[in-house]
Structure 1
Amino acid sequence: MTLDWIVPKGSVVLVTGGTGFIGAHCIRVLLENGFKVKAAVRSKTKGEQLVKSFEQYNPALTFGVIEDVSDFGSLMRLAEGCSGILHLASPYTYAVKDFAKELLDPALNGTRTVMEAASAHKSIKRVVITSSFAAVFDATKGLQPNVVLTENDFSPLTYEDGVNTKDPAVAYRASKIVAERAAWDFIKEKKPSFDIAVLCPPMVYGPLATTELLPSLDNLNFSNLTIWKMATSGSTAPVPPTKGPVYVDVRDLAFAHYRNSDFGCYI
């Protein structure tokens, strides 16, 4: 059996959300394995910090400034010459007031735009989308020990549920669900020349890929910040129960984006 690379080594992969906690690790894995990377970033400063973080791979890492990942024109131009896309850019915060504007619409429109931009370039063979365990798991049923979830499972939350709830956690879960469903609908309806792989990680913890992108510990990513605040609170109360007792190391997740999403698997 021969090894057939869907996205050949040495080719260019576009990464959205490349300055994020998971995205930076994904970029590291791609660079370490001989790929070139274009990172979509929201500011020139962030892009320069990212390139500095991986300067040992110069000039394999470049960036383009896209303030809004739903900007089709900018994303399409940045995707030119790429063979694959890792789409990680999606808001993950509970500090929001307008659930539609700050969570659901960015996630949904961003994913739709990535799919449209990918379809504009025949060179793109695969789009890898970072969804969430939240898109699979129906939280209303509790922990469900011994239940096996598969690719056929979806949480029943809808866009309307996300907009109308008063709980930002529910709105976030809904944002991941509608975004992933939009990607699968695009494949079914448009039948593009590329395929997609979707990863649904639970809570993600682990070290930072670089500290260049971290102005202060108050700017830690959401999951690590939860632990940091707990450790520095000065409280002597017992550690509270874990709401989601399923988690993954960010380094394993980054490798999964690279390996299990067929950037390095045979077909």
Structure 2
Amino acid sequence: MDNKAIDKKLKACVTGGNGYMASLLIKQLLQKGYAVNTTARDLDLTDEGRFEEAVMGCHSVFHTATPVDFASEDPEKDMIKPAIQGTLDILKACTKAQTVKRVVVTLSAAAASINKLNSTNLVMDEECWTDVEYLYSEKPPTWGYAASKTLAEKKAWKYAEENKIDLITVIPSLMAGPSITPNVPSSICLAMSLNSFGDFSANAKLILSSEKLTNEGFSFKYGIEEIYDQSVEYFKKVGPLQE
């Protein structure tokens, strides 16, 4: 395809392109005929202005990149600050580009579900936020990741409101499905551990099946491919992405 044909396509930017979720999203966008700019997961999220080139000329942006290091001895340095700075920088790049119609930021249910309350009657909805003060004081397992997602989302909404950015945040819990990355993602290892009742190696050969879970009565409303397919279809419906 020549450069002129590529220039005529509407373009999307996907950050963290070599990650589990982003790689599947990029695959779907390309299959549907869109041009895609992306960044690698090892991009330094504290390097100001790092997203500007990737976002320039794009009509939509999917921000999936975030630092994850559950073994970190300094979550503030390794996860929380980079997550906030990275999210704000992608939004600033969108403001500077002046072509972006909508931004979708992939976050986590960890930003809405962790607090000191203990009850089976709690109902989570769009108004719920994780208690950051509780995370910092009690430091439950993986608290740094939850804090990074919560604070990044709050900063994103504040910036979007102040700068009139059309923002959507997606807050899934555990996402599992086909993988096109070389290594098995940690979320898949966790899902498979729940299925096999034991540790699951990231170097293992992975053949995903829901047979055991469905036989036990579980059902899945949406898989990862359906979630991203609906995201792409929604962009087409509202205009930023077109055939």
- Partners of 1:73 and 1:234 lie apart in 2 by 40
Matches within 5 A, 1:124-139: 124-139=100-115
The aligned counterpart of 1:4 is none
- Residue 132 of structure 2 corresponds to residue 157 of structure 1: yes
8 Å Cα contact 2:49-2:89 kept in structure 1: no
The aligned counterpart of 2:63 is 87
Q: Which runs of 5+ in 1 are unaligned?
A: 1-8, 44-66, 236-245
Q: 1:143 to 1:24 in 2, by over 3 A?
A: farther
- Residue 170 of structure 2 corresponds to residue 206 of structure 1: no
Q: 1:120 to 1:221 in 2, by over 3 A?
A: same
- Partners of 1:33 and 1:144 lie apart in 2 by 43
Q: 1:27 to 1:174 in 2, by over 3 A?
A: same
Structure 1 residue identity aligned to 2:178: P
Structure 2 residue identity aligned to 1:265: K
Which SS does the other structure have where 2:116 is aligned?
Answer: helix
Matches within 5 A, 1:30-69: 30-42=29-41, 67-69=43-45
Q: 1:101 to 1:112 in 2, by over 3 A?
A: same
8 Å Cα contact 1:13-1:85 kept in structure 2: yes
Which residue, out of 211, 220, 224, partners 2:184? 220
Please report the TM-score for the alignment, with normalisation by the length of structure 2.
0.76
Shift of 1:164: 5.3
The aligned counterpart of 2:167 is 196
The aligned counterpart of 1:175 is 148
Q: Which runs of 5+ in 2 are unaligned?
A: 1-7, 201-219
State how many pairs are aligned: 213
The aligned counterpart of 1:17 is 16
- CA offsets, 1:169-190, max 9 Å, x none? 2221111000000110002223
The aligned counterpart of 1:61 is none
Please report the TM-score for the alignment, with normalisation by the length of structure 1.
0.70
- CA offsets, 1:57-83, max 9 Å, x none? xxxxxxxxxx21343333112211111
Q: 1:70 to 1:11 in 2, by over 3 A?
A: farther
8 Å Cα contact 2:19-2:41 kept in structure 1: no
The aligned counterpart of 2:78 is 102
Q: 1:109 to 1:234 in 2, by over 3 A?
A: closer
- Partners of 1:74 and 1:234 lie apart in 2 by 37
Q: 1:153 to 1:226 in 2, by over 3 A?
A: closer
Coordinate RMSD, CA, aligned: 2.9
The aligned counterpart of 1:77 is 53
8 Å Cα contact 1:100-1:162 kept in structure 2: no
8 Å Cα contact 1:132-1:199 kept in structure 2: yes
Which residue, out of 91, 112, 116, partners 2:88? 112
